[in-house]
A and B are shown apart, each in its own frame.
Chain A
Amino acid sequence: EIVMTQSPATLSVSPGERATLSCRASQSVSSNLAWYQQKPGQAPRLLIYGASTRATSIPARFSGSGSGTEFTLTISSLQSEDFAVYYCQQYNNWPPWTFGQGTKVEIK
């Protein structure tokens, strides 16, 4: 099973600032990496797939990069609606599909 590790657990950022979230896989997942956003009481929403492709309707301030075992989600200028928990997920070696433990982006 591939273990996904996200850092940091919590990220405190001021609105308008840049946020950088990291995700590491225990072995290579190529570019088969997705990012999801989850707000309290809501279902997760797909942000990024293929490590760097934005899903439909996702704003350009969200970008993904990386391949192999190291990945990054960058939010270029945080808006109030971006404060949420973000999960990475690998879909290269399955089953199982595995998620990171999440990074909470909170208002500084």
Chain B
Amino acid sequence: QVQLVESGGGVVQPGRSLRLSCAASGFIFTSYAMHWVRQAPGKGLEWVAVISYDGSNEYYADSVKGRFTISRDDSKNTLYLQMNSLRAEDTAVYSCASGSSPRGGYFNFWGQGTLVTVSS
């Protein structure tokens, strides 16, 4: 069955960096876009970033553009999110999700998420 397992969250000071990982299994990773979505405590879902099936296209939410970078390593079936210049408002559970198509689509499967807390 499909599994998406995130890791790399933790407590980090404002302005610092963190890299999240998402290990995927149970589907053909190289055929689908992959997304990051976040959920601040007690709040709704916010799309963060997407990378196309072949890594040729990336898109970001305005709130993270220029600070976050999404990437994928198809040899490891792993998705990454490099987060720089972190702010308090980036505090959230970050989840990866598989897209239903090579470049986007709806979100077929979701991981449980990893908590990122930005605090001094």
Chain B residues within 8 Å of chain A by Cβ, number: 22
- Whether B44 lies near A43 (C-beta < 8 A) is no
Provided the pairs A91-B105, A95-B50 are in contact, do residues A102 and B110 lie with their beta carbons within 8 angstroms? Answer: no
**Residue A71 CB within 8 A of the other chain:** no
How many residue pairs between the two chains, A and B, have CB atoms under 8 Å in the bound complex?
59
- Whether B107 lies near A89 (C-beta < 8 A) is yes
- Whether B61 lies near A96 (C-beta < 8 A) is yes
Shortest distance in angstroms between B46's beta carbon and chain A's nearest beta carbon? Answer: 7
Least CB separation from B48: chain A residue:
A96
Provided the pairs A95-B59, A95-B60 are in contact, do residues A46 and B107 lie with their beta carbons within 8 angstroms? Answer: yes
- Whether B106 lies near A46 (C-beta < 8 A) is yes
Provided the pairs A94-B104, A95-B61, A97-B104 are in contact, do residues A45 and B110 lie with their beta carbons within 8 angstroms? Answer: yes
Residues of A within 8 A of B (CB): 32, 34, 36, 38, 42-46, 49, 55, 87, 89, 91, 94-102
Ranked nearest first, the 8 interchain pairs of A and B with the lowest CB-CB distance are A95-B59, A34-B106, A43-B110, A97-B47, A99-B45, A49-B106, A102-B44, A101-B44
Can you list 26 A-B pairs with a CB-CB distance of less than 8 A? Answer: A32-B106, A34-B106, A34-B107, A36-B45, A36-B107, A42-B112, A43-B95, A45-B110, A46-B108, A46-B109, A49-B100, A55-B108, A89-B45, A91-B104, A94-B50, A94-B104, A95-B47, A95-B50, A95-B59, A95-B60, A96-B61, A97-B35, A98-B47, A99-B45, A102-B44, A102-B45
Residues of B within 8 A of A (CB): 35, 44-47, 50, 59-62, 95, 100, 104-113
